[in-house]
Chains A and B, each alone.
Chain A
Amino acid sequence: MTARLLFTGGLTVLWLMLWGSVTPLAVVGGVLVATLAMVAFPFPTMTWDVTFRPWPFVVLTARFFADVLRASVQVAWLAVRPARPPRSAIVEVQLQTRSELVMTQIAEMISLVPGSLLVETDPDTGRLWLHVLDGHDEEAVAHAHRMAAEQERRVLRAFATDADLAENGHPEEAA
């Protein structure tokens, strides 16, 4: 129920942002359209196994943008440097979490960073397969593994429930 309210609120905010003005009429209209959309196209109810921690979220975001910047430069260099592009690799990553939502979050963020792309997921075993642009040696592959693991840790800190954290061997994070 809370999730549904949150969703409606989010859609209303989206509506207000689209119209670019906050008037009583626009708010009522937004709530109306959001409710209508959710009633007309229902999804099954489910438990949202996530939470939200502000500080880790700031860390996650900041680091993400930094990664994007750094990787953009690297990939741009790989593209323009006067040499053959390096050999790419498919890397299998074992995640700790089994939460599909968190897994999606991690996969999306890895994909958004240039140079690495999600190829396949196996939610049952919690594995991801990534395509890494620069995978020419052991070190590059190890780097990809590290990057993925760190990304997961940051996402878990920002979003995973206490139970999920405890289960995945980060009890120290579960405050």
Chain B
Amino acid sequence: MLPLLTLHFLAAAVAPVLVRYLHRGTFPVLALVPAGGFVWLLVHGRPDGTDLEHHSWIGTLGLDVSLALDPLRWTLSLLVTGIGALVLVYCTSYFRAGDPGLWRFSAVFVAFAGAMLGLVLSDNLLLLYVFWELTTVLSYLLVGHNPERSANRRAAMTALLVTTFGGLAMLVGFILLGEHAGTYSAAALVADPPASGPLVTVAIMLVLVGAVSKSALVPFHFWLPGAMAAPTPVSAYLHAAAMVKAGIFLVALLAPAYADTPGWRAVLVSLGLLTMMVGGLRALRQYDAKLLLAYGTVSQLGFLMTLVGLGTRSAALAGLALVLGHALFKATLFMVVGVVDRSTGTRDIRQLSGLHRRMPVLMVVAVIGAASMAGVPPLLGFLSKEAAFAAAEDLGHDLGWTVAGPLTLAGLTLGSILTVAYAARFVWGVFGPAPGVDPCSIKRPSYWLVAAPAVLAVASVVLGLLGGPLTELLAPHADVFPAGAHEPELTLWHGVTVPLMLSVLVLVLGVALFVARHPVAAVQHAVVDRVPMPDAERGYQLVLRGVDRLAIELTGRTQRGSLPFYLGSILVVVAAVPGTALLLAWEPTDVRVADSPAQVVVAVVMAIAAVMTVRSRRRLRAVLLAGITGYGTALLFDLHGAPDLALTQVLVETFVLVTFVLVLRRLPQHFSTRPFTLSRWVRVAIGVMSGVLVAGLAYVASGARVADPISDGFAKPAKEYGGGSNIVNVTLVDIRAWDTLGELSVLVVAATGIASLIFLITDRATLPTTRKPGHDSAWLRNPSLPPERRSIVFEVVTRLIFHAVIVFSVYLALVGHELPGGGFAGGLVAGLALMLRYLAGGRRELDAAAPIDAGVVLGVGLALAAASGLLPTLLGGGVLQSAIVDVHIPVLGTLHLVTSVFFDLGVYLVVVGLALDVLRSLGGGIDKDIETDHDDAQDDEREEVRP
């Protein structure tokens, strides 16, 4: 079964390539995949029990690729693959040649078919959920096939939100159920259900929310008619075999074990019957043939859910037969609408006229489909409807429903009458004459377009005549339920029984309803206009609008664009929440004031610098003073015996300091002219509070340790497994390399943010290559500073030491495993070298020094780090596992290589890329800004001079 699924997704992957060469001819090729699955299932034959196939995936989550095939799944898989293949063939002629969206559509459709097949075959409930949401996401793409129309986008979004909402509820239900029972296998959960109790009831109800929303039952029914904005082949598949059948499948799967859960039958039967009515009544009011069918599907889904939800042997058989029958006739009818739409250019039954003469073959196909839907003998729809009536008649005996049983029967009958009426409305509306409209002129459809629905119509007839074998084929699914009053049977002739009489009644009244359609429509309109009806769709929109509104209000109130305000609120929250925790956990601790006098001196200098930072009025001075606290921190690190940290801190501080100064060029020299207003005092207070808080946290935390630090055990493995004596570096690139990889990703995101947010440098690939004539300098490649800002000493020194700094950075990156250094420090040093070039020669010099897109550097770095993590898995190791290799090179000696050095080189490149991005945006970007302003000012002057 797994190869079958894999094949679907492979086909989806190659589909866009195929489209390039075969265009519409891709579809028949793609159809081979589901068709192959269909044939395989037929050859395999209906399984008697449950065939399981197990592959472990994520064991700790209980998420395994375990697939199952049982009678229910077998039947549904046949539908999913068979109708999938036919719809793909139908697509060949449905789409116009040269449709630009085909490459995406074909891929998404096949993937959708694969996801649906996976959903039906999944035994593991979590895997089922994965496929469930895959169908949701893919159907979103299919419904929004033509995203230029806002209606399509809205419909796709509605379908996505509603079904995802249900899906999440279902996931919670699955987890409750799975954790309670200790297994996520559906087979195990059905064979050996956990004892009923409130927890199981809640879990099952949540699962039902998912099923009901996916299968478009009231109150979630509104997404399905909207989803018919999709291309017609998608609708045919979505309504007949996929997506909406997922909920029916899930209920049918769980019914044998959980139908007796309190509320199960009450919810499903009442919602099912209600949906059947609502859908039928709505269908009677539609003029768009496709929308009419869509509401018909809503109605039929209610019918189906009632049957599979009842959980009796006869209802289960009737339900499965109806699933089959509905799939066949609904796919037929949708494809017919597609043909009509393509041939006449309209789907409005008020404009379609005289097609019974122009398209007689298509009409026969449509009539068969509609008759099966209406339950006319000898079609499959008749068999299933008879079986449904028989099952409902027995409810009094099977479930002891003395009152509810007849009510259910009455509901089904009423719903069926409506079904007959809208089936007639469909056929008459599409093919019959329309008053006051001339017969339509048509473009003759291709034979292939008609062939697909014709095949399905023939199937409806043939299966209708094969009641006996069909009963045998489907019965094993029903046999897991306890025997009822009568053994269920699908047959054309039961004898003169209640179901037969009801069938006749339904047909007669249904036709009568159609004949009297004008008065009926008048009554409907009158009722709808006068009586306020609860409208689920309006409720949905109200909720959506409310959320939007709330988001806007909240954003407007909190995101006012004031950086001090943001920072202030963050710090106040930090002070309030962890601060409270700190006060509660306060405990005096023994601490040494200092290890050496040097620490005291540094601390005092830092404190003075901090206070002066706050008091200074010039921005530049504030930045420099803040820098002193940074360098002081580095000194403290070093005094404490952490040269690695100290080195990194110094490098970061330097880089940040220069960056700060680059930004300051665009800010006023002084802070606000009113130095000590209230707001400033508030800020000082917040700052003091934050400082006190952090100091307090450090104080309490130092006394809070109860266990031995984990790093105590690092020293030995760092040398033995990590192959390095610098524990800090081995920790970064080996012991906790996963974290580092995550941090790298964050760094890449941050760099991209800097590049794209500040100056919208979205196209980082095109750099100015032309050498703008400025002044001649033999020292640099393309110096672009104006002569008055040029410094010959700076240029010469840059020229002399640049390469030495680069060599040093490489050394730092490589030596990190043994001595202070590492990729991060090395990258920073290389970044500083580039910064030197920028400061000495301006932004064009930087571009000449590193004529490369910073994004490429970032990407290559991240890819290198990731690849060095993945490579060991190919060699049979764990992710990010490092190896120590001694390479013997003749003559030269032995190269001692630890593979994590490649990871470190990835870090190096990412940091260099970040530095480039910072220099280009905060350096070069601001330069450009200033130049533009300067030019503008000059232009203005010229303007003024001219008159």
Contact = CB atoms under 8 A, between A and B. Distances in A.
Interface string B773-810: 00000111100000000011101110100111011101
Contact of A123 (B792, B802, B889, B894): B792
Contact of B808 (A18, A46, A100): A18
A43 B798 CA distance: 11
Interface in A150-170: none
A40 B807 CA distance: 12
A42 B803 contact: no
Contacts of B707: none
A11 B895 contact: no
B893 A24 contact: yes
B892 interface: yes
A108 B803 CA distance: 19
Given A100-B796, A103-B792, A104-B796, A7 B811 contact: no
A132 to B, nearest CB: 18
A55 interface: no
B807 A101 contact: no
Q: How large is the interface on A (under 10, 10 to 19, 20 to 34, 35 or more residues)?
A: 20 to 34
Interface stretch (A31-39, A63-71, A80-88): A31-39
A118 B807 contact: no
A28 interface: yes
B781 A43 contact: yes
B593 interface: no
B13 interface: no
B528 interface: no
Contact of A37 (B781, B797, B799, B803): B803
A24 B892 contact: yes
B223 to A, nearest CB: 57
Given A15-B807, A18-B808, A44 B778 contact: yes
Interface string A113-141: 00000100101000000000000000000
Interface in B790-847: 791-793, 795-797, 799, 802-804, 806-808, 810-811, 815
Contacts of A23: 892-893
A44 B781 contact: yes
Contacts of A76: none
B465 to A, nearest CB: 79
Contacts of A44: 778, 780-781
B496 interface: no
Interface in B856-878: none
Contacts of A34: 803, 807
B159 to A, nearest CB: 53
Contacts of B181: none
B459 interface: no
B849 A41 contact: yes
B891 interface: yes
A44 B783 CA distance: 11
A40 B808 CA distance: 15
A107 B792 CA distance: 10
Contacts of B799: 43
A19 B889 CA distance: 19
Interface residues of B, number: 28
Contacts of A103: 792-793
Nearest to A46: B778
Contact of A104 (B778, B797, B804, B895): B797
Contacts of A18: 807-808, 811, 815
A121 B808 CA distance: 30
Contacts of A19: 811, 815
A44 B781 CA distance: 6
A14 interface: yes
A103 B796 CA distance: 10
Nearest to A103: B792
A5 interface: no
Nearest to B834: A41
A23 B893 CA distance: 8
Contacts of B895: 25
A43 B893 contact: no
Interface string A68-103: 000000000000000000000000000000001101
A107 B794 CA distance: 11
A104 B778 CA distance: 14
Contacts of B778: 44, 46, 100
Nearest to A30: B807
Nearest to A123: B792
A34 B803 CA distance: 8
A100 B796 CA distance: 8
Contacts of A46: 778-779
B796 A37 contact: no
A38 B806 CA distance: 9
A25 B792 contact: no
B811 A121 contact: no
A40 B803 CA distance: 10
A100 B778 CA distance: 10
- Centre residue among B781, B793, B796 by max chain A CB count within 10 A: B793
Nearest to A11: B807
A84 B833 CA distance: 40
Nearest to A121: B792
A169 B889 CA distance: 57
A104 B893 CA distance: 43
B811 A100 contact: no
B919 to A, nearest CB: 15
A128 to B, nearest CB: 9
A100 B792 contact: yes
Contacts of B849: 41
A8 to B, nearest CB: 9
A101 B796 contact: yes
Contact of A43 (B780, B804, B889, B894): B780
Interface string A6-26: 010011001100110001110
Contacts of B797: 104, 108
B889 A25 contact: yes
B671 to A, nearest CB: 28
Contacts of A28: 892
A53 B778 CA distance: 24
Nearest to B809: A37
Contacts of B850: 41
B779 A100 contact: yes
A89 B673 CA distance: 33
B811 A15 contact: yes
Contacts of A10: 804
A24 B793 CA distance: 37
15 contacts: A7-B803, A14-B807, A18-B815, A19-B815, A25-B889, A42-B781, A43-B799, A43-B802, A44-B781, A103-B792, A108-B793, A118-B793, A121-B792, A121-B793, A123-B792
Interface of B: 778-781, 791-793, 795-797, 799, 802-804, 806-808, 810-811, 815, 849-850, 889, 891-895
Given A33-B811, A121-B793, 16 more contacts: A7-B803, A10-B804, A15-B807, A23-B892, A24-B891, A25-B892, A34-B803, A34-B807, A43-B799, A43-B802, A44-B778, A103-B792, A104-B796, A104-B797, A107-B793, A121-B791
9 A-B pairs with least C-beta separation: A104-B796, A46-B778, A37-B806, A123-B792, A24-B892, A18-B811, A25-B892, A25-B893, A104-B793
